[in-house]
Amino acid sequence: MALRYLLLFLGVGACSTSAILIRMSATDPLVLTALRLVFASLMLAPVFLVELRRHGGAFTRAHLRRTHAPALVLALHLVLWTLGVRMTAVAQATLIVNLVPIALPFFLLWLARERINAAEVAGTALAIVGLATLSVRDAVAAGGSAAGDAVCFASMLLFALYLALGRRNRDFPSIWLYVIPVYGQAALVCLLVALPRMGTFDVGSAREWSLMAGLAAIPTVCGHSLLNAAMRGIRGQIVSLCNVSQFVFAGVMGFLLFGEVPRALFYAASAIVVAGVAIVVYAAPAEAGASG
């Protein structure tokens, strides 16, 4: 059991590095997102080939067609996330983008007809109160960015939609035969969008290449894989709630690397948000909670 929680701890920590690595990079957001996905797709390509050989004809063109929409949603999510995290503090951006548990039940109701209960609605309302408190503060405080909060919130909604689409497509013969094609197609979408800006990329910068490789390897491949491994032995509700704590890891790194010190109101608003998320997570049926 200790090993399972260690995997969970490592996965949450790995995913929390995303905001830090993005902020450290000087590459155009569209180019950075595109190359991050290209790196991740290349890293996972051997896994895809192994799974394809293992499952043979069970993976059809119909399966591939069903990955198109999730790929587009993932591409939009990552583009907005890269933009948003450069517009507001890393702890706040990470807190907002990990509010997925409050939005996911509503997308599951829409796409998978999974019912939501009164406690989930109440928890969502409480979390939104906390988020609104953060955004109002940013709108009136010097150096705040209500626009950055809004972009991160939109990114979170897209990620919740991406997860809901994944739940609807859970009949794939292997999770990797779903995820890896989605990553590859999202990379192509981002490459097409970023093409006019590719000339701005410093090809000779080892630092930028290292940051992109780190983005692909640490939060994208390792972080998500570790969280999936933890989900196999720990209740989905616990994993979902612990994942929200990414903002703590990101906040510490943001303080050490960028000197970002959250205002006192941030802690109070964060407590309200986390309380709302906890209500949603523990009110959800076990199966629905595991999907988040």
Query: Residue ranges of the alpha helices (H) in the chain?
Result: 2-24, 29-55, 61-65, 68-85, 90-97, 100-112, 118-140, 146-168, 175-194, 206-215, 224-231, 236-244, 246-258, 264-283, 286-291
Q: Is 280 exposed, middle or buried (0-12, 13-18, 19+ CB in 10 A)?
A: buried
Cα atoms in the 13 Å half-sphere on the side-chain side of 9: 6
Residue 239: its pLDDT value, please? 74
pLDDT at 118 over 70: yes
Mean pLDDT over 123-131 rounds to 84
Residue 28: its pLDDT value, please? 95
Residue 263: its pLDDT value, please? 79
pLDDT digits (tens, 9 = 90+) for 248-278: 889 899 999 999 888 788 888 888 888 888 8
Whole-prediction pTM value? 0.84
Q: Residue 42: pLDDT band by 50, 70, 90 thresholds?
A: very high
Let me know: does 34 contact 193? Beta carbons within 8 Å: yes
Name the residue ranges covered by the structural domains of the chain: 2-291
d(CA 193, CA 195) in angstroms, rounded, equals 6
pLDDT digits (tens, 9 = 90+) for 55-85: 978 989 999 999 999 999 999 999 999 999 9
pLDDT digits (tens, 9 = 90+) for 133-184: 877 766 655 455 788 889 999 999 998 888 888 878 878 898 889 989 999 9
Q: Residue 289: pLDDT band by 50, 70, 90 thresholds?
A: very low
